[in-house]
Structure 1
Amino acid sequence: MSPASARPGTDRARTAGHAIVESLALHGVRRVFAVPGESYLDVLDGLHDSDITTVVCRHEGGATYMAEAHGKLTGEPGVAMVTRGPGAANAYVAVHAAWQDATPLVLFVGLIPSDHRDREAFQDFDPRAWFGTQAKRVLLLDRPERASELVAEAFFAARSGRPGPVVVGLPEDIITRPAPPELHPVVPVTDGGVAPAELDALRELFVRAERPLILAGGPRWTPRAAARLTAFAERHRIPVAQDWRASDRVPFDSPVNTGQLGYGRLDSLARRVEEADLLLCVGGVLTDVPSDGYTLRQSPSSTTVVANIDATLRGRSGALTRQILAAPDAFTEALAGLDLTGHPDWTRWTAEAREEQARHAALPAAARTGAGLPATAPGTAHMTSVIAELVERLPDDAVHTFGAGNHCIWAQRYLPTRVFPSQLSMRNGSMGYSVPAALAASLESPGRLTVAIAGDGEFLMNGQEIATAVQYGAAFLVILMDNRQYGTIREHQERHYPGRISGTQLANPDFAAYARAFGAHGETVTADDQAAGAVERALKAVTDERRPAVIHVVVDQNIPLP
C-alpha cells in the first residue's frame, strides 16, 4: 500500500477512486457487495460518505453471486468489489455464471500499483487473461481522468445487447490520483424495435401454423414485457414453454403455461417442441439445455423465429427462419397490436399441453401428511411434505432462489411463479448460489417473501453469508434438504457405475445449530408431522422478527426424486 493511499482524503482534490463512487451513484447504484482489500482503499473511502450501502460479505464468490442476483432481479448491473489475486479468483465463479446467464454485472477488482506489473509482485495477475473469455469487457484504469468514463462504459457494456459481466481493474496507485470534477453521463441502451414488415411476416407465419409454440426466456425482461406476452398468448390460446431456470415469464397458473424445458422437463413438452410448426423464441434462443443437448428441433426444415436483442445469436441451435432484433419490452409492445384474424383454432393444442403441465406441477393430494409417498427411514422426512406446507403459505409475489443439485427439482416443479421476476437461479449449474441470491433479493425487495431452496452440499459453499444477512437485516427462509450426499452426481454415478458409490457421500453438521450461531432462526425436521409447525415458526421469524431462518430437513437419500 502506497503512503498516498493511506492518508485520509478529506483535504485532497477529488480522486479517481472517489469519482468512481460518484459515478456509481449517477448510475443509480444503491448498494455494492464487497470483500475489502488494501488495493482499492480509496474507493472504500469514497463509499464512506456516499449514500451507497456497502454490504460487507464473507467470501468474494458470495459477494459476486449477490451482485449477479441483483442483476437478474432488477435488470440493472449488480456491483461487486474485490481485491486482486485471491479475491479475483474467488469471484470468478460468479462471473462465469453471469456470462452463461447473460446477467448484467460489474465487478471492480483492486490491482497492484501499475509500476509493479509483470514483475511477479504480490498477488499480481493479468485481468484480461483471466477474465477475457468470460466477460463482455475487461477494462483497466490507467489514467485517473478516465475513471468516470470507464464506469459509464462498463455499465453500458453490461446492459446492452445480450447483457453480461464486465470487469474493471483498479490499480491502487491510479485511484488515489486527482480526477476532473465532471462525471461522464450515463450511456443509453437501446431496446431495438420491430419494423412493420417484420410484424407482417410474423403474422403470416402464425395464421398458417396449426401447432404454434412460444419459448420464453433469456435476458432483458421486465414485468411489463412478461404481462404483455402472457396477454397475447392467452388471447390467442398459444402455448408457452419457458426456458430452463426461467419459469417466471408467464404465470404459474396461466392457461397457456406448459412448463419449462431443460433438465426435469416433461417428455410431452419435448415432443411438442419437435411437433410445433412454428416456434417463436422471445428473449432467448434454443441453447443446449432446452434442446436436450442439441437434439430437439435441429431439423433444417423447422420454422423458428427469434425475437431478441443479441445480434450475435450466441448459443443458438437448429434452423433459423427470421430474427427480430428487439428486447422483450420492445417486441411485446409490437406483439400486443398484432392482428391474427383468421388463424386456426389452437384451443385443443394448447389445452392438452396445459393439462399435462398442471398435473406435473400439482403436489400429491396427501403430501402434507406424507400419505401415499414412499416410506422413509426412521428419523427422516419427505422434502415434498415440507414444500407442500410452504406452498400453502406463499404469497403470490414470493421470490425463490436455488443453485444446483437434486433439491432444485422441488423448487422448479412446485414453487409457483406468479409475477416477474420471482425465480433466481443458475443456468450454468453453479453451486453456492441460493443463500447469496436470497440475501440480495431480500435487500432489494424487503416487502416480498424470499425463499431459498438449498441442498446440504450447495448450502455449505456460501452458507456463511447468513452472517452478512443478519448484519444487514436481510430476512429470508432457507429450506435445506440434507441427504448427506452430492445427490445429482450420485444419480449420474448410479446410472454409469451402478452400485459403486465413490466421492459423493458427506458428513454434515447440525445445520439448525449452525443457523442459530449466526443469529438466525434454525430448526430441524425429521418427520413429516413436524413440517407444518417448522414452516409456521420459520416464516414468523422472517416476516415478524426480520431475520433469516433455516429449516434443516433430514431426508432419506434413497427416496427417488419427484
Structure 2
Amino acid sequence: MVKRCGMHAGKALVESLKLHGVSRVFSVPGESYLAVLDGLYQSGIENIVCRHEGGACYMADASAKFTSKPGVAFVTRGPGAANAFVGIHTAWQDGDPVVLFVGLIPIADRHRESFQEFSPEAWFGTQAKAVFILDEPDRASEIVADAFFCAQSGRPGPVIVGLPEDIIRQPFDSELSPPRSISESPVCLDAVLEELEKAENPALFVGGERWTPDACEQLTQWAESVPIPVLQDWHADDRLPDASPANAGSLGYGRHQGAADLLDNADLVVCLGTVPGDVATDGFQLRQSPRQRTIAITPDPELRGAGVRVESHIVASPVEAVSALKPLKRGWPEWTAEKHQEFLDATRIPSVEPSSEYAHMNLVFAELQHYLKDPVYTVGAGNHTAWAQSFIPATSYPSQLSTRNGSMGYSIPAAVAATLETSRLVVAVCGDGEFLMNAQELATAVEHKCAFLAIVMDNSQFGTIRQHQENHYPGRVSGTAIRNPDFACYAQAFGAYGEKVTRDSEIADTVRRCIEAVHSGVPAVLHVKVDPEILQP
C-alpha cells in the first residue's frame, strides 16, 4: 500500500481508480460530487462528459463489454441516479462489470426529505451485485477496491457506490488499497469431454461475459478441429467469426430456424459462459424435454437465468474452460457442415424489387458490406436490429455491442464508447424511435471526435410493438405511430455529417459519402426512409 496524505477523499477515490487501471470515465456533473470532479482535474483520467445520465451509464456498459474491464460512470443524486438506472438494469441482465458512483446528500441531511434524497439500497438493491455507501473518508480507496472486485468476480455485474458530498470533501488520511486479482484457476473438463464423445448430435452454446480475444480464438480452433457446431447466445454473436465452419448461428429474436432446431434436437448441449435463458429458448419453449441433456460451464455459482434443465454445472470462467479443452476421439463433420450451411443461407441478403418511393434496408446493407473489413457494430432494441445481426459480419472479438435486456437508446452511446477504444469502423444501427432516446449524445461524439456511422431506419413507428399488435389485435394499430424529424439535418446541427435517402437509386453514393465523412474524422448519420410495412429483412 502507498501512503497518500494531504488530499480529500474525492481525490483519494480518483487516485484509486488510477491504481485500478482506469483511464476513462463517463459522467454528467453534479454538485453532490464536486470533490471527485476536483480529483479528476489534471488526474490523467479522461472524463467523457455526457448529455444524459442514461447515455453515460450505457457508455460505461459498452466500455465494459468491449474491454472486459469495469466501465465507470459518475452521476448525481436523485434525478441523475434515476436516469442512470436504465444502464444498471442493462448491466445486470447482461452480466457486465459496471461501477456507478452516485453523489449523495450530506449524511446529516438523511431521512428529512432533503433535496433529491433517495435510498441507493432500495433503488438499486435488486439490480446490482452490491451497493456500497462511503460513510468514512478514510475508506474511500478501500471501497473502490471492494467495488471493482465485486463487479468482476463470478458472474460480472454492476456495483453502486454512494458518495455523500460531505464525506468526499473531508481529508483522507489512510493508504491506497491496491486492486484485488480475479484468479483464473485450472479446471478439469475430462468428464465433460467424455460425455461429448458419447453424443450422437451434440452442440456447444456460448456467450456471456469474461471472454477474451485469445479465448475466442482458442474456442474457434478447437471447435473447427473436432468439428462440432457452435451456437451463440442472443446478441453475443462474436465469439466465433461468421466464416468459421463451426459457426451454426445464434439464438433469440431474429434467429433462423436451423439454430432453434439445433438447440431443440441436440442430444447434448455444453454451455460455455452462459445458459439458454428466456430469449434463447423462445420464451422457455425450446429444449424443455427431460431427455435433452445440458451441461453448463459458467462463472456464476447461482446459474442465474437458466431456462432449461441443467444436468451438471461446473463453475469456471470461459477463459478457464477453453484452456481445459482437449482433442476428442471423434467429431461430427457432416452435422457441423449442415448447421453452418443453414447459418450461411440465413445470413445471405435477400434480393428485393427496386423502389422509387422508399429505400430498402437490404440494399443499404448490401452496399455497406463493401466497406466492412473488421467492423464493430452497436444496436439497441427493435426490429431494425435484425439487419445488423444478420448482415454485419463478425470477424473478431469483440465486434458486437448490444443489450440482451432489450433496452432502447443504447446504439449511439455504445458507438461513442467503442470509437474511443478502437480505430476499427464502428456502425450504429438504429431504429427511429430507438435513435431519439439518446441521439443527444451525438454532441458528445462530435466533441470527442468519435467518428462512427449511424444508420437510422425510419419507418415512422415503433415497429416491434406494431408487429405485436398485428399479431394480437389485427388491424387495430394504436399508439405506435410517430412523426420524425429530418435526422440528417438533426445530425448536422450537432456538427456531424448527415444525409437522407428516400429511394434505392440514392443508396450507393450516399453510403460512400457517409463512409468518407467517418474516415475524415466526424460521425455520420444516414437517414433511411423505408416502407413501414417491411418490418424484417
TM-score by length of 2: 0.98
Q: Distance in 1 between matches of 2:408 and 2:447?
A: 23
Give the match for residue 380 of structure 1.
358
Q: Which moved further from structure 2: 76-85 or 324-333?
A: 324-333
CA RMSD of aligned residues (A): 1.1
CA contact (8 A) 1:300 1:318 kept: no
Once the 2 structures are TM-superposed, how far is the Cα of residue 346 of structure 1 from its aligned partner?
1.0
The AA in structure 2 aligned to 1:148 is S
Q: Which amino acid aligns with 1:502?
A: S
Corresponding residue for 1:8? none
Q: State how far apart, in whole Å, the 2-side matches of 1:192 and 1:273 are.
A: 30
How far did 1:330 drift? 1.2
Residues 1:410 and 2:387 aligned together: yes
Match of residue 3 from structure 1: none
Deviation, structure 1 residue 181: 4.8
Are 2:463 and 2:535, in contact at CA under 8 Å, matched by a contact in 1? no
**Equivalent residue for 2:307, pick from 303, 312, 317:** 317
Please give the per-residue CA displacement for 1:97-136, whole angstroms capped at 9, x wherever unaligned.
0000000100000000011000000000000000000000
Mapped contact 1:82–1:88 kept (Cα < 8 A): yes
1:374 deviates by: 4.7
- Asked if the contact 1:213–1:278 (Cα under 8 Å) also holds between the matched residues in 2, the reply is yes
Match of 1:530 among 500, 503, 506: 506
Bigger CA drift: 378-387 or 162-171? Answer: 378-387
The aligned residue for residue 69 of structure 1 is 62
Alpha-carbon distance in 2 for matches of 1:375, 1:536: 19
- Would you say the 8 A contact 1:14–1:181 is kept in 2? no
2:349: which partner in 1?
363
Unpaired runs of 5+ residues, structure 2, are: none
Matches within 5 A, 1:87-98: 87-98=80-91
What residue in structure 2 maps to residue 369 of structure 1? none
Mapped to 1, the partners of 2:409 and 2:207 lie a distance apart of 23
Structure-1 separation of matches of 2:354 and 2:506: 16
What's the counterpart of residue 426 of structure 2? 450
Say whether the 8 Å CA contact 2:226–2:327 is kept in structure 1: no
Match of 2:165 among 147, 163, 172: 172
Q: CA deviation at 1:190?
A: 2.2
2:370 aligned with 1:395, yes or no? no
In the alignment, which residue of structure 1 is the partner of 2:45?
Answer: 52
Which amino acid in the other structure matches residue 11 of structure 2?
H
Aligned to 2:210: 220
| C-alpha displacement of 1:268 | 2.2
Letter in 1 for 2:501: V
Q: How does 1:344-359 map to 2 (within 5 A)?
A: 345-359=331-345
Q: In the TM superposition, what is the alpha-carbon distance from 1:504 to its structure 2 partner?
A: 0.2
Q: Is the 8 A contact 2:403 2:410 kept in 1?
A: yes
Is the 8 Å Cα contact of residues 84 and 111 (structure 1) preserved in structure 2?
yes
Secondary structure at the aligned position of 2:287 is classed as: coil
Kindly indicate whether the alpha-carbon contact (under 8 Å) linking 1:248 and 1:420 is maintained by their aligned counterparts in 2: yes
- Corresponding letter in the other structure for 2:204: I
Matched, 1:487 2:463: yes
Matched, 1:421 2:409: no
Mapped partners of 2:535, 2:419: distance in 1:
32
Alignment partners' CA distance in 1, 2:371 and 2:497: 18
Q: CA deviation at 1:302?
A: 2.1
Map of 1:556 onto structure 2: 531
Matched position secondary structure for 1:258: strand
Separation of aligned partners in 2, 1:138 and 1:90: 17
The superposition leaves residues 416-465 of structure 1 with CA deviations (integer Å, 9 ceiling, x where unpaired) of 001000000000000000000000000111x1111000010000000010
Alpha-carbon contact 2:277-2:308 (below 8 Å) kept: no
Any residues of structure 2 matched to 1:140-539 within 5 Å, and which?
Answer: 140-195=133-188, 199-335=189-325, 338-341=326-329, 343=330, 345-364=331-350, 372-374=351-353, 376=355, 378-396=356-374, 398-445=375-422, 447-539=423-515
Deviation at 1:322, TM superposition (A): 1.8
Provide the C-alpha distance between the structure 2 equivalents of 1:502 and 1:111, rounded to a whole number of angstroms.
41
Q: Which runs of 4+ in 1 moved over 6 A?
A: none
TM-score (norm 1): 0.93
| Residue 530 of structure 1: how far off its partner (Å) | 1.2
Between the aligned partners of 1:493 and 1:363, the Cα distance in structure 2 is 27
Please report how far the alpha carbon of residue 266 of structure 1 lies from its aligned counterpart in structure 2 after TM superposition: 1.6
Alpha-carbon shift at residue 299 of structure 1 (Å): 2.0
Kept after mapping to 2: 8 A contact 1:209/1:278: yes
